[in-house]
Every structure is written in C-alpha cells, then in structure tokens.
Chains A and B, each alone.
Chain A
Amino acid sequence: MDVFLDPANRQAYLDGFLTILKLTGASALLALALGMLLAACRVSPVPVLRALGAGWVHLFRNTPLTLVILFCFFGLYSAVGVEFSEDIHVNNYWLAVTGLSAYTAAFVCEAIRSGINTVPVGQAEAARALGLSFSQNLRLIILPQAMRSVVAPLGSILIALTKNATIAGVIGVAEASSAMKALIESNGDQTIAIFAVFALTFVALLVPVGYAFSALANRLVVRR
C-alpha cells in the first residue's frame, strides 16, 4: 500500500476520480437534456422528427463508445477544427464530454420513450379532451408521469456513464483508469493494492448510487 504514501501518487488517484466525476456530471446533464429532446422527437406526430430521433438512437446505440470518442478527436477536432479551448487538456475534456453525451443521450431517449409507454392511454385522452395540444400534453401530463417511472433506468444509465467515462482516457484525458495504468507501470510490485484501491473506489461510488436510485424509484413510482 505504500504506493499511496507518495503524495504525487495520491494526487494522481484523486485527480483521476475528480475527472471521472466532472466528466460524468457534465455529460449527464447534457445527455438528459438531449435525451428528453430526442424522446419528444421520437413520439411526435411529425414523421421527419421521428426519423431523426430513431436515426440518432440507431447510430449511437450500435457504435462502440471508443469509436465515438475517437471520432470526436480525429473527426471533430483534427479534421473539422472544432475547438473548445486553446489548452489541449481542456479541449480533450470537452471533446470527451461531447462524445459521452451524444452516446448516452441515445439511451436516455429510449428509457424515456419506454416510460411514456407506461402512462395509461386515458391520461393522454383526457388531456386531449381538455383541448391540450401535443406539446402541452407531453409537457404537462405525460412527461412528468413518465419521468417518475424511468428513475430506475436513468439510474442505471448514470452508473454506466460513470464507468464509461474511463474511456475518455483514449484521447488523453487523465481519468481514473489512466491514472491506475500509470501507477501500475511505475509500481508493478504493488499491482494488486493499486487495483484494489481503484476498483473499490468505483464500488464505493456506484453501489450506493444504485441503491439510492432504486429507493427513489420506489418512492416516486406512480401507483396505479
């Protein structure tokens, strides 16, 4: 365990997990917003929007995240010149957030769409009978109920996103997995201790999130 007695190593460990949390937080917010928008597209009466939503979901659900993030770097940044910052580290961070959000939004969209399907038809019919338009219906009646029934799947998506954030290392973002790799490479004799610390940190971060979300889901579920 003395590898973590070195302040520099401890700092690398802390920075790695801080980066994971920052990547997760930023991507989760963006993915939630984008995912709700895509879900609205997928259930809308306009065929073009439905196709747009479906296309996004098919594209990102079937593509490996490694490819998505590499494409953000080689395609968006190197080829097209999308630049978030002069600082290469900050730039790569935001490129990774772009990839993670676009990818995760596809899953958020599908979760919300399945949530919309759990809302009884009578709710939407009553809303339409009162003269509510599609967007009012969605905003005021359907989505608030649907969101409550998708708390558990959204929790799973958040957990997966946290783990997926480790892939940002592929474009040089100094997150936890690359910190672990660097520590193992310079302190191979303590591999097991290093792995145990990093793995158990993920367990300590994510297992409570899982239980919190399922408890929340039980509380919020619309009893019918």
Chain B
Amino acid sequence: MMSASVLYDHPGPRARMRNRVLSVVFGLLVVAGLYGIYRAFDSTQQWTWEKWQPFFETVTVNGQTANFWTDYALPGLLATLEAAATAMLLALAFGLVFSVARLSEHRWIRVPAGVVVEFFRAVPVLLMIFFLSFGGFWVFGTLIPPFWSVVIGLTLYNGSVLAEAFRAGIRAVPRGQSEAAYSLGLTKGQVMRMILIPQAARSMLPVIVSQLVVVLKDTALGYIVSYPELMLEGSKGYAVFTNAVPTFMVLALIYIVINGLLTLVAHLLERRANRLGVTNPATKAAAAATAATGLGGGGGGAGGA
C-alpha cells in the first residue's frame, strides 16, 4: 500500500500486535454484519435450494422448462455487449470529431462544438433515452427502437466525455512535435492526423477503456425502456423462478466480473504504456486528470473545466 506508508510507520512488534487485535475485532464485526445480512435474507427463505437451483440446472416451473443461463442471462449479456460495443465505437468517433472541432482555429467551429459537448455532458443519459424512446415518433416521424435509443443516448454522453479527454490529451502533446511537423511542411490536417492524434490516442488508451466500463454499466438503463439487455432479461428470469434477490446477486456478479476484467485491461495498458515510454509526462498527467471516475448511470464523469 503506497498510500498507507504515508500515514504510519512500518509496524514494529507492538504495532503489529495491535493491528492483529484490531483485525480480529473488526473482522468479527464484519462477520457479524455479514451474518446479519445473511439472517435477514434467510428469514424470508432467500437461500433455499429452490431459489438457487435455476443458476445450476434447467428447472421446470408450472410445466414451463427454463434455464437461467441459456434462456435469459446469455442472450441478455449478448444484447448488453452489442449495445455497449456499438455505443463505444460511435462515442469514439463522436469524441474524436468534437475534440478536433473544439481545438479548431475557427470560432464558428470551436464555439458550437463546445456548446454541444457541454450540453450533452450536463443532461442525464436517461433524459436523452426517454426523449428518443417516447418522443422519437413525434420528432422523427418514426418509432426509434430501444436499441438505438440506448445507443444514441450513451454515444452523445460518452462521446462528449471522450471529446474532453482527447482534447486534454492532444493539448498535452509537446509543442515541439507539431512545430517540427509544420517545419517539415505538413498541413494542419496532416499534423493533427499523423502527429497529434496518434500520440494522444496512445496515452489516452486507459481512459478509453475505463470509459468502456461506464458505457457497459449504463446499458442497464435499457431496462427502463425495454431493451432486452442483461438486467431486463435477468428480471424475466426471476419472474419465472420467483427468486428476485438471488437473481440480482448473480446479475451483479456478472457485471462485476466483466467490468473487473475491463479495469484490469486498463491497468495493463497503462503499465505497458509506462514501460514502453510512449507517453510523455504531460500527456500522462492529462490522462490521469481526465480518467473518468466511472460513475455511470444517468451520467458520470468529469464536470467543470
């Protein structure tokens, strides 16, 4: 623990003894707390085999045969991944275009791009999704499928967050890089495309991956507008098996495993970038400063300049 060493000395024999005693005391408290939770759920028979059986084998309820994984969780997971992947690709494109637009020398490009980015960062994703889902018919003359409501909502919000991240990354590339490129006779577009964006993109890779976690989590908003993603499909499962609490626990576990893996990838990429030295200190600082807090939901990420 790096942070730990700031606050206390390397424990000596007495401190180790004391820490051990405190560990036991707090350990017992934690166990007591967990036992309390266990008992609370036990009192309403949440741990019975009937409620957990659907996660291990195909069961027949009221003459209806169903399997939690193949009938509900896996199709739902697939839909979640599909929406997350589509939204992430579109958000990357959106972020790239708007970060470059915000760095433009022309006021008439820079200012509107800034307004768009600030707007979509401040409006909750759910508001966007409702607008598209329930108002889409009135505005566009056609019903917008839940998939696209979710994907477009997530794209606009996460694209705006990424636009700010890219902008910080591009600005953090040392001036000498673009000066050298200009002196070689490259045009503005070439400098951006061949010199600045590749360097910024590599240093921003961890930020991009952690934003993917946000997108993946936020696809759960699809539940509210009937997009059959993991949350909604899982819920169809518990309606059949009547095991809401165990189902939510299993669904949470699935999300935690997937997002944990993504976070791990982000850490590995960061370490690799550090080792290869592809990031200069300034872009690294920019990446750290803009690293999305990953709050997700109605919209997380950085606010304010």
Contact = CB atoms under 8 A, between A and B. Distances in A.
B303 A159 contact: yes
A170 B255 contact: no
A122 to B, nearest CB: 10
B276 interface: no
A59 to B, nearest CB: 7
Contacts, number: 243
Interface string A179-196: 011001100110110110
A116 interface: yes
B154 to A, nearest CB: 12
B252 A167 contact: no
B7 A78 contact: no
Main secondary structure of the interface of A (DSSP, over half): helix
- Interface bracket on B: 35 or more
Contacts of B255: 62-64, 67
Nearest to A218: B305
A58 interface: yes
Interface stretch (B97-105, B172-180, B289-297): B289-297
A166 B127 contact: yes
A67 B220 contact: yes
A177 interface: yes
A199 B244 contact: no
Interface string A156-172: 11111101111101100
Interface string A130-161: 00001001100010000000001101111111
Contact of A164 (B131, B137, B244, B299): B299
A58 B245 contact: no
Given A107-B293, A195-B135, A160 B220 contact: no
B248 interface: yes
Interface in A39-65: 42-50, 52, 58-59, 61-65
Interface in A199-214: 199, 202-203, 206-207, 209-214
B125 to A, nearest CB: 8
Contacts of B2: 117
Given A59-B256, A61-B294, A121-B5, 15 more contacts: A48-B22, A49-B26, A58-B256, A61-B259, A62-B256, A64-B220, A78-B244, A79-B44, A137-B8, A142-B6, A156-B293, A160-B299, A164-B124, A170-B224, A181-B134
17 contacts: A46-B19, A63-B217, A64-B218, A64-B219, A116-B7, A124-B8, A137-B7, A152-B304, A156-B303, A163-B124, A163-B297, A167-B298, A169-B126, A169-B224, A170-B224, A180-B127, A185-B134
